[in-house]
Chain A
Amino acid sequence: MAQRYNSGLGWADVTPKAGWLNRRQLMMTMGAALAASPALAATGPYSTDEAPNSLEDITGYNNFYEFGFDKTDPAAHAGKLTTSPWAVEVDGLVDRPGSYDLGDLLKGLPVEERIYRFRCVEAWSMIIPWNGVQLSHVLDRVGVQPGAKFVQFTSLARPEEMPGVKAGLLDWPYREGLRMDEAMHPLTLLATGIYGEPMPNQNGAPIRLVVPWKYGFKSAKSLVKITLTDRMPYTTWNALQPKEYGFYANVNPEVDHPRWSQASERRIGAGLFASRVDTQKFNGYGDLVADLYKGQDLARDY
C-alpha cells in the first residue's frame, strides 16, 4: 500500500532484512558475527545514527488504545483493520478543503526515510526508522489560510474493527494537535511506513503523525482528519488528565510527570542490564526545535 509512495531505495539496502526483522534472534544465532556487520546508515540531517529497534520490537510493543490497554493488544487485534481505501478529510482554515484519497493527498511528494528517537510519556523509548512525507508539504498542498494557528489530527474510531473503541476505553475519536510552527517544522512527519515497508496496522496504518521531540501520545495514529483552526484544539489525553498531559508535551527531563520522573528512560531492546539512559531535552532535537519555544516557560506549558 504505502510502498507506492516510496523511492527506490529502502532500509533493506543498508541493513540485512533479517537484522531488522528480529535482531534478538539474530544475535542468538549469529553471535559475534553481528558485531562485524555494517551499521544502518543514517540518511539526511534529521536522522539519528543510533541503531534502530528490530521490527519485532516496534510492532510488538504499542500503545494504541483503540485496540486495548495492553502493549500487545494492538499486535493481536489490529490485523482486522481495513486500511484500503483510505480517505483523509481536510477541513477548517484551508484553501482546498475536502475528503482526499490518501494516494491523491501524497502523490508526488518526496518520501523521506528518517531514523527518529521515539520517547513515550511512560518513560520508555525506541529508535524507529520511519518512511513518510513532511507534514508541511501536505499542508502546503491544501493551502493553509493566514488565520490558521493550530492543526488538529483525528484518528480512526471504528468500533467494529477496534475493540478498545467498542469498549469505550477513552473519549473517541482520539485527537491530537500541534501549533502551526510545530506542524510546519521539517522534523514533523506524516509516516506511511517503517523499514521501507507499509506501515504495520498496529503502528497506525496507513498514515500517522510523528513528532519526534514530543512524547509519543502526540503522534496520533491512523489519521482520518486534519483540521486547521485558529484556536488550541481539543486533545484527548489533555482533556482526560490536564495536570498530567499538557498540550505541548515536549520531551523534557526537567519537567516530571506528576506521578513519575522523566529524568531517564528505558531503551527497549537494550537488554536486562543496560536499558536505562538519560532523557534528553526535546528528545535530543533541541538544536532544531528549541527556538520554537523561546520565551515560553516549559514548566508551565508542559
Chain B
Amino acid sequence: MLRDTIHRALRPVRPWMVYTLGALPALLLVVDVFTGNLGVDPVKTIEHRVGEVALQLIVAGLCITPLRRFAGLNLIRFRRQIGVLAFVYAALHLLVWITLDLQFRWSEIGADLVKRPYIIVGFAAFLMLLPLAVTSNNAAIRRMGAAAWQRLHWLTYPAAMLAGLHFIMLVKAWPAEPLIYMGAILALLGLRLIPRAAPRRVPA
C-alpha cells in the first residue's frame, strides 16, 4: 500500500533533516541574490518569496493531522520542525519588510502597524506564531503540561487564517494564488470540524 511504502521510505529520515530541507528556499534566494536572478524588483521578490514559503509551511503543518486521521499517514514526528520553519520564514518576511522594503523608516513602519489592516493582520499572525516557536521543545511541554501546551498551540489555526487573509488583502483585483492558499487553509481547518466516530464498543 502507498501509505506503508511512504512510512517505510521515511523511516531513516530524522526530524532534524527537515531543517536541512527547509533551509533550501533561503539558500536558493541567497544564490539568486548573488547571480542577479531576482528580476527587476529584487526587494519585492525576496519579500514575497520568504512570505510565500512561510505560508506553504503553515499549510504543510496543517496537513499533518488530517493526513493521519483520513489517510492513515503518520508524519507527526516532523510537525514541530515544519512549524518552527514556518515561524523562521515568517520572521524573515517581517525582517525583510523592515530592512529592505521600508528601510528602517520607523515612523512609516509604526504608522503601517497601527493603520494598515493587511499589515496588522500579518503582524498579528506573526505574534501568534511567536509563543508557539518558543514552546516548540519537550521541556516546554513538560513544564506547561500537555493539555495547556495543546491549548496554546491551537493558536496555529487563527494564525493560519490571518496569514492567508494578509496575502489576499495586499493584492489588487482577484488573482487566483492568494485565494487558493486561503481555500486550502479553510479546507484543512474545516476537516477538523468533522466529528470523530464514536469509539467502537469492544465486545465484552
The residues of A with any CB-CB pair to B shorter than 8 Å are 24-25, 28, 56-57, 60-61, 65, 69, 71-72, 122, 124, 169-170, 240, 256, 259-261, 263-264, 266, 268-269, 271-276
Flag whether B23 is at the interface (Cβ < 8 A). Answer: no
Closest B residue to A275 by beta carbon equals B43
| Chain B 96-120: CB-based contact to A (< 8 A → 1; otherwise 0) | 0000111101001001100111100
Flag whether B165 is at the interface (Cβ < 8 A). Answer: no
- Which residues of the partner chain B approach A266 to less than 8 Å between Cβ atoms? 41, 43-44, 101
Tell me the bound Cα distance from A122 to B44 in angstroms. 11
The 9 closest A-B pairs by CB, nearest first: A61-B40, A276-B103, A69-B175, A60-B40, A57-B40, A275-B43, A263-B108, A268-B41, A272-B100
How many residues of chain B are within 8 Å of chain A by beta carbon?
A: 26
Tell me the bound Cα distance from A170 to B173 in angstroms. 8
Q: A28-B36, A71-B41, A261-B108 are in contact. Are A275 and B103 (CB under 8 A)?
A: yes
- Which residues of the partner chain B approach A72 to less than 8 Å between Cβ atoms? 39
Q: Please state if A259 and B117 are interface contacts (CB–CB under 8 Å).
A: yes
Of residues 7 to 47 in B, which have CB atoms within 8 Å of A's CB atoms?
A: 33, 36, 39-44, 46
Q: Please state if A272 and B117 are interface contacts (CB–CB under 8 Å).
A: no
- Which residues of the partner chain B approach A170 to less than 8 Å between Cβ atoms? 173
Q: Distance in Å from the Cβ of A257 to the closest Cβ of chain B?
A: 9
Taking A272-B46, A276-B103 as known contacts, 15 extra A-B pairs with beta carbons closer than 8 A to each other, sorted by chain A number, are A56-B40, A60-B39, A61-B40, A71-B39, A71-B40, A72-B39, A124-B44, A260-B112, A261-B115, A263-B111, A264-B102, A264-B105, A268-B40, A272-B33, A274-B103
Closest B residue to A266 by beta carbon equals B43
- Which residues of the partner chain B approach A71 to less than 8 Å between Cβ atoms? 39-41
Q: Please state if B111 and A261 are interface contacts (CB–CB under 8 Å).
A: yes
Q: Distance in Å from the Cβ of A269 to the closest Cβ of chain B?
A: 7
A276 CB contact (under 8 Å) in B42, B102, B170, B175 = B102
B108 CB contact (under 8 Å) in A24, A122, A264, A272 = A264
- Which residues of the partner chain A approach B117 to less than 8 Å between Cβ atoms? 259
Tell me the bound Cα distance from A274 to B102 in angstroms. 10
Q: Please state if B44 and A276 are interface contacts (CB–CB under 8 Å).
A: no
Of residues 164 to 204 in B, which have CB atoms within 8 Å of A's CB atoms?
A: 169-170, 172-173, 175
Tell me the bound Cα distance from A72 to B39 in angstroms. 9
A259 CB contact (under 8 Å) in B36, B44, B118 = B118
- Which residues of the partner chain A approach B46 to less than 8 Å between Cβ atoms? 272
Closest A residue to B38 by beta carbon equals A272
Q: A259-B170, A260-B116, A261-B112 are in contact. Are A272 and B42 (CB under 8 A)?
A: yes
- Which residues of the partner chain B approach A69 to less than 8 Å between Cβ atoms? 173, 175
Q: Please state if B173 and A240 are interface contacts (CB–CB under 8 Å).
A: yes
Q: A259-B117, A264-B108, A275-B103 are in contact. Are A122 and B172 (CB under 8 A)?
A: yes
* Residue of B46, B170, B172 most packed against chain A (CB within 10 A): B172
- Which residues of the partner chain A approach B36 to less than 8 Å between Cβ atoms? 24-25, 28
- Which residues of the partner chain B approach A61 to less than 8 Å between Cβ atoms? 39-41
A260 CB contact (under 8 Å) in B33, B118, B175 = B118
Tell me the bound Cα distance from A261 to B112 in angstroms. 7
B116 CB contact (under 8 Å) in A65, A261, A271 = A261
Q: A122-B172, A275-B103 are in contact. Are A269 and B44 (CB under 8 A)?
A: no
Tell me the bound Cα distance from A284 to B128 in angstroms. 41
Of residues 115 to 165 in B, which have CB atoms within 8 Å of A's CB atoms?
A: 115-118
Q: Please state if B173 and A169 are interface contacts (CB–CB under 8 Å).
A: yes
Q: Please state if B116 and A259 are interface contacts (CB–CB under 8 Å).
A: yes
* Between-chain CB contacts (< 8 Å), 19 pairs: A24-B36, A25-B36, A60-B40, A61-B40, A72-B39, A256-B115, A259-B118, A259-B170, A260-B116, A260-B118, A261-B116, A263-B108, A266-B44, A266-B101, A268-B40, A272-B42, A275-B43, A275-B103, A276-B102
Q: Distance in Å from the Cβ of A286 to the closest Cβ of chain B?
A: 21
- Which residues of the partner chain B approach A271 to less than 8 Å between Cβ atoms? 42
Q: Distance in Å from the Cβ of B138 to the closest Cβ of chain A?
A: 39
Q: Please state if B112 and A259 are interface contacts (CB–CB under 8 Å).
A: no
Closest B residue to A260 by beta carbon equals B116
Tell me the bound Cα distance from A166 to B117 in angstroms. 33
Tell me the bound Cα distance from A169 to B103 in angstroms. 33
* Residue of A56, A69, A124, A256 most packed against chain B (CB within 10 A): A69
Tell me the bound Cα distance from A72 to B41 in angstroms. 11
Closest A residue to B100 by beta carbon equals A272
